[in-house]
Structure 1
Amino acid sequence: MNSYGDQQSARARARVPGPSAASTPDDDQSGYDERPSPDAYRRPAGGRASVGGSAPRGAASVGAAPVGGRASVGAGTGSVGSARVGGRASVGAPPAAAPGYGGRAAVARAAVRPVSPGAGGPGGPGDPDGAGNDKRGSAGKILNKASKRRRRTNILTAAAAVLVILLGAGVVGGTYFFDNVDFKEPTAEAQTTQLLASDNKTVLSSLGQFNRSIVPDGSINPLVKLAVVSAEDKGFYKHNGIDMKGIARAAWNNFTGGDTQGASTITQQYAKYATKRKEITYNVKLREAVIARKMEDEYSKDEILGRYLNSVYFGRGAYGVEAAAKAYFGKSVLTPIGQKNAITAGEAAVLAAVIKQPEPTATHKGYDPQKNMPDALDRWKYTVGNMAELALPAGLPAAKVPAGINPPTEYPKTWKKWDPDKCTTTCGNNKPSAKIVKYVKRELRDMGISDAELNQGGLQIRTTIDPRAQEQAEKAANSQSKKSPLNGMSSTYKSALVAIDPDNGRVIAYYGGPDAASWDYAGPNYTDAGDFVGGGRPPGSTFKIYTLIAALADGYGMDTIWDPTLKKVDGGGKISNSGREGGSLKCKAPKACTLQVSTEQSYNFTFYWLADKLGPEKVIEMAHKAGIQLIGDPETTARWNLNTLTEKQLKEKGYGREVGFGQYAITALDHASGVATIANDGVYHKAHFVRSVSQRDPKTGKFVAVKGTGEKLDPKKAFSPDVAAAVQNVMEKIPGINGISLANGRKAIGKTGTWEFTGKGGKAGDNGDAWMVGGTKEIAASVWVGREKENKKTKQMELLPIYKPGGKPMNGGSIPGEIWKMFLDSASKAIGAENKAFLPNSTAFVDPSKKGNGVEPPPPPPPPANDPQNPLCGIFQQQPCNDNNGGAGNGNGNGNGNGNGGPGNGGPGITLPGVPPNGDTGTNPDGGGGQTDENTDDGN
């Protein structure tokens, strides 16, 4: 037998229906079974009938038999000329007995039913020699005129009623029709594909048009099979696929003006379904009968029943018996009898009973117990009664069904109520997690699973999404969540949050919007055809982490000096630092700011000049190694795939030095991947969403891995552990500087950033994008917040400036930082993450020859050994002496430490033991000053 879904063997033969389903030997080139036909096809032995040719007057001739025309029996000729089934039947007088009527066909039997022997004919009264040579009229001698009229009326009526059947049977048996009804292997049923979370049970999304799960026929609960046979086709194990009584009844009803009906066998029902024909016509019914007959030769009864059970509709949006068992009882038909949660005999009868009419119509409420319990109960009783009568029919071995089944006496109370609005085939598509479908599809293509195969369904895809982390991401980033920092703000505010496991690249949480249909703010957006249409925003200062990595990898140390006063190259203007210039900079001197301080305070000028020294393409290259896949074009809104661009091509694109502090757009997904590489000590794992792909084993029904699929971890060294250690060390300070340290002292790295708003309606100092990225050794996360609304005239989305509650410009350490902290605190707790430490700081990578462009200030003069005006001077060597006479600044020596800058200007003053300093002590002994804002980041 061919497997379900495979192409039919080329050696399959067309066969005339017979009493058994035995196959024709392969060497039977005629393609026909020469066994006697069932009674419905038989006729008395006699002469030879010519099929497809001509016959002498009086001979029985079956000519070409197109379907759909008029069937004409010529008076006195005994010939059936052009037999067109499906039109008007014109019946003449019965033919005289003629030589050659009946007998064996030259190619196949002529299945034309003989006239009654009582009216004269071969072997009947008046035909003493049985050869059919008697003259017509013998029967009339023993019948009176009234009897003749009644007899003739009966004959004409009966002939009209069964003519379609007889001619159809002849056509089925004939070369013209039987061979021209193609039997093709039915296409595999479309099923549901489920995307599951990493726990392998939480449904994130369902794909497919039909809620169906194909299960192997040999594994279906035998009670279900018995119930369906009992309800739909009691003679299923006895007939050869065609119910001749049913066909005759349907033909009679159709001919006499009743409703158009179809036959009743399970095989014919499946044949109708497999041929995808919805109309009921004589032509269609004949073809279904032929296909059903051919199916019976090709498949076993259990295979046919299994196919039927996997295809039939049970209502409640459930196609196939497995989906039905879950919809009505929350059970599986694969659970063996006697085991916990196995389908019972009573429940099996409920499923079988609804098949006849699962949904309400204008004339009947259907047999779903929720909608029509009285009729459902009657139909159930009918089914249960037949189950007891059939007991153990052929095909249901006693090993599978316990002998002496006790029919249930009460309708099961275990059936579940059904919500018609509950999703069945697109489950999860109204949830944020549904946005991962596009990534799953792309990864499956890379594994060799086409979109067509995915749409056909039947797969079970285990994703990387951790349902616990996903829940926390949605609480933190979704403005509809009451706990989100965005809750209560305008609906024009949009957000994105992506979290990745640094140890393997698995995306454990993804939020890019509230549902599948909305724009994805966390990653790239594509059309249905797969064309990129947009995604990503300028990362601002958060991109400096990649510039920093590139610099350290090139040998620059964290103590290199950079000049904040230099203007851009090629006559460019001043490098913006979000209003933090001059004396507000926490630098060693006006022309000397270390890379360490520049990173902590997020000063733009240092990273501009680093990009100048390294070259913009080197910065982008390092970002790519860390995990950035897409980056904005320097001149347009396009995005470039860094997997396909060479260094030469990058250089030709003309990226500016502003890349060093985040001018060009990237996605939150890529940013999370880059941070994960830093947290993983410089080892990159590609961000991915698919862990495994499974499909049902055709024999056991269990899900097994699809060969050649599943995640394939391929760690790559992006940069050295020493570089990673230095970057981790400086990034660990940033959450605390911005007041968003994680709870319970959990160690974390971070970086804030914004990009200025340049659209209409903004004012100086407004921002358009705010970011917070970072994480722990277990979770790396990126958060973005922006704002937009649709222009009613142009129907295009327009960007808007972003503000904190209260009206001040939003920056990375505010709302995005709060979202980031809330998520990492709650997600770390939810998944039981450890509090792992980052690497100890390192300078092993430093090349002493690598210098910045700043001017190192001269070292301060040593303090005098004795100062008569200050007897404590020099005693506490850890504190330098106050210099009230220094240069341009005014120091006061009382612990304020806030000089105005310049050599010798006021230092931090002397701090006596046990006496708190008076004022805000600067970080530099030359009086650089303190913070100017509660969030110090946010250079553009």
Structure 2
Amino acid sequence: MGRAEERRARQSAGRRAASRRSSGTPSAGVGGGRAAARRAAKRGGRSGIGRLFTWKKILGTFFGLCLLGMGAFIVLYMVIDIPEGNADAKRQSNIYKYRDGSIMARDGKVNREVVDLAKVPKDVRYSFVAAENKTFFKDAGVDLKGTARGLFNTLTGKGAQGGSTITQQYVKNYYLSQEQTVTRKLKELIISLKLDREKSKDYILAGYINTSYYGRNAYGIQAAAQAYYRTDAEDLDVAQGAYLAALLQAPSQYDWAVASETGKKLVKNRWNYVLDNMVEEGWLSASERADMKFPVPEPPKGDPGLEGQKGYLVEAANAALERQLIAEGAAGNTKEAEAMVKAGGWTVTLNIDKKKQTALEKAVKTQLTSKLDPKKRKVDGSVQAGAVSVDPKTGAVVAMYGGVNYLEHYTNNATRDDYQPASTFKPVILAAALEENAETQDGEPITADTIYDGTSKRPVVDNGEKVGFAPENEDDENYGEITVQTAMNKSVNSVFAQMGVDVGMTEVVDVAGKLGMETEGMQAVPAQTLGSMGASPLEMAGVYATLDNHGEKVTPTIVKSAEHLHRKVTMPDPIGDQVISREAADTVTSVLTGVVDDGTAQASVRNNPLRDGQQVAGKTGTSDNNKSAWFTGYTPELVTSVGLFGEDPKTYAQVPMYKAVGEDRINGGGFPAQIWAAYTFGVMDEVTKFDLDTRQGAAVKPTRTPTATQQPTSEPPTEEPTSEAPTSSPPPSQTPSQTPTSPPPSQAPTTRPPTTPSAPPPTFGIPENTADPEADQ
């Protein structure tokens, strides 16, 4: 065999051996097969996802992104310079217009006076640091954790959260804007870092306290010191400084003059928080802190140029705009929303109708304020009036009366909710009964014709047991067995207290919320049937507008539109869903026409010479101890709620209105109803009738046809009952000692209710005594 043939033979043998190894034949041996399997598994582990994600690649990507982010930040740091102060820091005016486009008001020049930091007492300066940024003197001007959270919330649409340093807040106020965007957040971060490197802490702190908004149209600490304490910034003490520092978190909510009880509690808590932080940081001694009392601010003076009703209208419009900015996510909280509005540049068109606004102001003056004489009767100086008028078809607030003068009485009586609505709440109870198809204790459906026991101080029962509540009727009058219609006409407390329990107070509160009342914190107890919660004329106008609108929710809206150079705000639709059935709403309206024609409002409304046959529904209300009196009434075209409130002009405490204007008692059927009638009948374009969908039709017609020449008679109401207020619930172990003296009959009357020996026969006509018998305990 030659060399070539020998070489070819060796090559052929090698190929056969390789073939046997790769095919796993026995000739490769057991060990060779296992090794081949291990090699195959190793190759398989490196394929697919395993080859894409290795620890080296993951770490490399992470560090690459970090380097990229650092590089981007360095570039931004080099590119972004500290700008000049923005235009908003110099503030423009806002323009407010009536619904027809005519100018109503401008908010005037900015109230700001810059003061040197050296003139501000050191402990007052420290109070701002303690309130907002305890590490201010040590940090680099930014809170990375808070900024990262803010960026995340902005990206995810969750709005803004706290956490910014004083430096960042100053940069936002003076150099940037209140916009919630990623770009603005990044600029804020970089400018804050640069500013902290280039400027002293005193410079930044001075800028912060001189540019911040404190409420009451006060920008800067000097304006705030004058607005709240009638003093200069250099004369503030540490307690006053701590209040101003606390105020910055929510200026309007924390303004002591207009704050709710919750707002006062919150600002006191924050005031304590500021002082406690000062002690913790060594800026205030514990002994000085222990001796400090909360420094109640002086009442506000109001803004020049916003005299009369203009200030009330502007403040109400601003509040509505701020709420919408938060709802849209343009502002993260109340403080930011206020800053955006107060920065200026807004054109706000209100729903206020100039003609109706003038008519409402005139009605209050002619029917009430022109008759008040504090020099002759001291109590006359305590009478405050508030009113709101709403178009039930659109929800537009067409007129508002906030008080005698915004510059003299800062609190808006039209939107305040600290007085009891009293018997104006009774229609809500009836609406709940009709909506829930409720029954009496005897299983009879509750309708306008259902008979109840109207005995004064009648114990309210639930399933045969007393619930510990027995309200007194006005003048302790016993009505005996009367229909729901007559009970509404005469505003009989004992009937509606029992009805509330029959329906279920939880259901009553639920329906109240659906109709538009604020029910957070409202206890579902029988005492609420007397309207013992707080409510505003604006709120009650919304409730009655929903009834007038056949059960479709009406949310009174004062702002028609709001535009800014960079933004247009879209206000929510005031007309909402069907919250109670049309039949329930219309039946309540039907019953409330009886209050006007045969009940507590007849003296002021029924026979008014301007009525001209106009159909009217409404309800009077007079609270416990005569601290408030109401009439909320409506036609198919207009809903208006009028309230009178007793308020001490010096302490702002609620006080009774007995003997005001020479009257023994101020009742809802008196001055409030007179104001309502003078206004409503004066602005009517035409006489209208209700289009009601009820099983009972319109309310019972009066026994006499009202004429323009009839003059209602009246006699002075008697003194308020002095019975002890009952508890709202019985003791846990108490068992009833007696059953009601006159339980509700199980059948409704076919013609008129039966009489009882203790009360005169009820009538659907005009009672002989036309004095206003309505009141609530």
TM-score of the superposed pair, with normalisation by structure 2: 0.50
TM-score of the superposed pair, with normalisation by structure 1: 0.42
RCO comparison, higher one (Cα < 8 Å, 6+): 2
